[in-house]
Each structure stands twice: as structure tokens, then as C-alpha cells.
């Protein structure tokens, strides 16, 4: 990974740890993936030469930066959706700052509705990272 996205990922990781630590309630936290989890999925994207990835649950774009960086290598593109408008705005700014904005489309949308409107076999990989109790319905 280039220095530019790596620096932004490191900043977001440190900010997330500082911000989330004192918060007892889970929902206001960005709840970004761990670096290991995001790296593993990025490795799958590269290994599979995936060109189309859909993520449900963008938050501040931490995982999206990892995936967009991998998709830059495969010539692909990420679509990521979140129901929280402020997080969509933050994610767009963070992807831009990381230099990978061109490899990701960020939408203010509901995951279930997005999946229902996504034709079968039209994406190589779907990453569910929203609210787990909803997954069965997806």
C-alpha cells in the first residue's frame, strides 16, 4: 500500500481508539474493522481479482479505504452504503484524503434495500458490516 492511504488509515485507527474507548454505548462509535480484518478482506479481493465489491455499513470509510486500495490494483470499484448521512460525508472526505476516492462510490442508502436492488451474481464480493441481527433478513 502507498504511504498516502496508509497514513490516513493509521490516523483513523488512532482516532477510533481514542474516540471509542470512553463510549459505553456501541452505536455512536464508528466501530471500524480491525486492521487485520480489513487486510484479510483486501487480500481476498486481490487474490480473487475481484472487480466489483459491495459493502453494507461504511461508517467513516476506514474499511472502504482498504478495499478501494485493493480494487485500484484489480481495476475494480467498491460500492459502499450507510444509512447515516454524516458518516457518508465523513467517508467521502476520508477516501479523498487517502487518494482512493476514484475507486469507491459511497451512497446514503439502506443495506437491505440496496441488496434487494442488486441483481444476482452482479458483484464478486459482498461485505456485511452493519447490524448483525438484520443479516438474516438480507
Contacts with ligand SAM, residue ranges (CB under 6 A): 31-33, 56-57, 59, 62-63, 81-84, 87, 110-112, 129-131, 134
Nearer to ligand SAM by Cβ, of 99 and 111: the residue is 111
* 48, three cell numbers: 480473487
Give me the least distance between CB of 52 and ligand SAM, in Å please: 17
Nearer to ligand SAM by Cβ, of 63 and 79: the residue is 63
Nearer to ligand SAM by Cβ, of 62 and 72: the residue is 62
Is the torsion defined by CA of 1, 115, 91, 29 positive or negative?
negative
Distance CA 106, CA 24 (A): 28
Distance CA 82, CA 4 (A): 24
Amino acid at each position: 500500500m502507498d504511504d498516502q492511504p496508509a497514513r490516513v488509515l493509521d490516523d483513523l485507527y488512532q482516532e477510533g481508539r481514542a474516540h471509542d474507548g470512553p463510549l459505553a454505548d456501541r452505536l455512536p462509535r464508528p466501530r471500524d474493522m480491525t486492521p487485520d480484518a480489513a487486510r484479510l478482506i483486501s487480500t481476498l479481493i486481490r487474490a480473487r481479482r475481484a472487480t466489483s465489491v459491495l459493502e453494507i455499513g461504511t461508517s467513516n470509510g476506514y474499511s472502504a479505504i482498504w478495499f478501494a486500495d485493493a480494487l485500484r490494483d484489480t481495476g475494480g470499484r467498491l460500492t459502499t452504503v450507510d444509512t447515516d448521512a454524516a458518516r457518508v460525508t465523513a467517508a467521502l472526505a476520508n477516501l479523498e484524503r487517502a487518494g482512493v476516492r476514484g475507486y469507491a462510490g459511497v451512497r446514503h442508502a439502506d443495506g437491505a434495500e440496496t441488496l434487494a436492488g442488486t441483481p444476482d451474481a452482479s458483484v464478486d464480493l459482498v461485505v456485511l458490516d452493519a447490524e448483525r441481527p438484520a443479516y438474516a433478513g438480507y
